[in-house]
Chains A and B, each alone.
Chain A
Amino acid sequence: AQSVAQPEDQVNVAEGNPLTVKCTYSVSGNPYLFWYVQYPNRGLQFLLKYITGDNLVKGSYGFEAEFNKSQTSFHLKKPSALVSDSALYFCAVSPTTDKLIFGTGTRLQVFP
């Protein structure tokens, strides 16, 4: 079965430190990969996507993600976390259809 795993329910990091939110996937073929962010009582906002090419993808608000085909991972990173980055983050995978498969989400908490 096709699936996306976000192994950490919550990630805690101090402001100014680097952050990583992990995502692994199990999908046949060469899927497209996405990260979204959700603030309380709001919809999801698109951060970045990997289609093909460079394994390091840069996105909105200083976020980037590293694609690793051999490990089937697509971890979200940011060099210096802000308190305002505190939110719920979703990894999603699109197989060769128009449907997205979402992970269960990781809550990022950035402490001042």
Chain B
Amino acid sequence: DGGITQSPKYLFRKEGQNVTLSCEQNLNHDAMYWYRQDPGQGLRLIYYSQIVNDFQKGDIAEGYSVSREKKESFPLTVTSAQKNPTAFYLCASSIVGSNQPQHFGDGTRLSIL
């Protein structure tokens, strides 16, 4: 079955540590997205990419980095510069075009030790 796989489901970070969240899709979608979800705030866009080797900052990119070396993969690194990283992180993909729905993975919950 086609879909988006995020791993791990739960992740813990120590102070000063960088962590990387994985996102893989087999839907053959060109566009991929990373969102952060906090209670009562909806989803906020961190980074997005519409083609391999290119990506753009979203609304809250500070303290995060991404890469897009393969069409299927869009990993997100939460750096030590992100002072409040505890959140639920969602990856999505879509066909390029603003009328296309986005398909979501089941998320990674990141917590601080």
A-to-B contact residues, CB < 8 Å: 9, 32, 34, 36, 41-46, 49, 51, 90, 94-100, 102-105
B78 at interface by CB-CB < 8 Å: no
Interface size classification for chain B: 20 to 34
From 16 to 75 in chain B, residues with beta carbon under 8 angstroms from any chain A beta carbon are 31, 40-45, 48, 50, 58
B2 at interface by CB-CB < 8 Å: no
Q: Are A98 and B98 in contact (CB under 8 A)?
A: yes
Q: What residues of B have a CB within 8 angstroms of the CB of A102 in the complex?
A: 42-44
Q: Are A105 and B98 in contact (CB under 8 A)?
A: no
B-to-A contact residues, CB < 8 Å: 4, 6, 31, 40-45, 48, 50, 58, 90, 92, 94, 96-99, 101-107, 109
Specify the chain B residue showing the minimal Cβ separation from A42: B106
Q: List 5 additional contacts besides A49-B101, A100-B43; criterion CB under 8 Å.
A: A42-B107, A43-B92, A51-B99, A99-B48, A100-B102
